[in-house]
Amino acid sequence: MSHQLLFVYGTLRAGFDGPMAKWLASVASHVGPATAQGRLYHVEDYPGFVHCPSGLVVGDLFLLPDDPAVLDRLDEHEECAAHFPAPHEYCRERLTVLSESGPVDAWIYVYSWDVSGLELIESGDFLR
């Protein structure tokens, strides 16, 4: 099951009122809250997650359906599909996150560009 989990920390979260968050909620099952080791930066009107051992980022876990088109659409949204010019702002990686029932491996979109000059979201919670 863990290979089909997605950890979201920004505009795809269950509490965000955007079209892609609504779409994700309609095609995937919300598992519950989770956290990931890392830091969250305010990019524009969305956040960027950087994996690191210090810091904690708050988000939600979704169980994705067994349909590659779902991840393909998310890759399009995050502009990291192969046809987008490199370097991509985000890359999709598998990381261990902490769910209410313990550690699980999940897909997460990691911010790839330089964070110098970006505001750190101290709370680690984009919706807060």
Q: What is the CATH number of domain 2-120?
A: 3.10.490.10
pLDDT in tens, 61-78: 999 999 999 999 999 999
Q: What is the DSSP string of 38-93?
A: EEEEE-SSSEEEEEEEEEEEEEEEEEPPS-HHHHHHHHHHTT-STTSPSSPSEEEE
3-state SS class at 123: coil
pLDDT in tens, 14-63: 989 999 999 999 999 999 999 999 999 999 999 999 999 999 999 999 99
Q: Which residues contact 85 (CB under 8 A, 6 or more apart)?
A: none
